[in-house]
């Protein structure tokens, strides 16, 4: 299926810096999700967004559902070493007339935080 365009592919930052990553698509999604994956583990849900324009925070993380429903961004403020990992965006389409759990993933942003 169609993948989302996630950027940047990787980031190397100093501890304490802010981070921003985003996802875009040519398709409209009902839901945008952001996951973090540590090596050898499954993705862990960070933030879920359900409405266009929605801005949601989870601690130092903030994510927004784009107005056009075709994009989303994730910001991490004051990064710390444990933020290291791969961050994935996912767009979900749910049709009202048919239960269809159709989800597309970005390729991931690999974050490295230098102490």
Partner 1 sequence: KAGVTQTPRYLIKTRGQQVTLSCSPISGHRSVSWYQQTPGQGLQFLFEYFSETQRNKGNFPGRFSGRQFSNSRSEMNVSTLELGDSALYLCASSSLRQGVTDTQYFGPGTRLTVL
User: How many whole angstroms separate alpha carbon 64 and alpha carbon 91?
Assistant: 13
What 3-state class would DSSP assign to 86? Answer: strand
* CB count in 10 Å sphere of residue 55: 11
> Is 15 strand, coil or helix?
coil
Q: Which of 59, 82, 101, 115 binds partner 1 (CB under 8 A)?
A: 101
The distance of closest approach from Cβ of residue 18 to partner 1 in the complex, given in angstroms and rounded to an integer, is 26
Q: Which of 10, 16, 27, 50 binds partner 1 (CB under 8 A)?
A: 50
Measured from the CB of residue 8, what is the shortest distance to partner 1 in angstroms?
15
Q: Is 43 in the site for partner 1 (CB under 8 A)?
A: yes
């Amino acid at each position: 299926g169609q993948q989302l365009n996630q950027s940047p592919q990787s980031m190397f930052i100093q501890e304490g810096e802010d981070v921003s990553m985003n996802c875009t698509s040519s398709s409209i999604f009902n839901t945008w999700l952001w996951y973090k994956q540590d090596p050898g583990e499954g993705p862990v849900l960070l933030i879920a967004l359900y409405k266009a324009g929605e801005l949601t925070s989870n601690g130092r993380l903030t994510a927004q559902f784009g107005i056009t429903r075709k994009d989303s961004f994730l910001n991490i403020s004051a990064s710390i070493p444990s933020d290291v990992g791969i961050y994935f965006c996912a767009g979900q389409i749910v049709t009202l007339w048919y239960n269809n759990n159709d989800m597309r993933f970005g390729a991931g942003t690999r974050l490295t935080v230098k102490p």
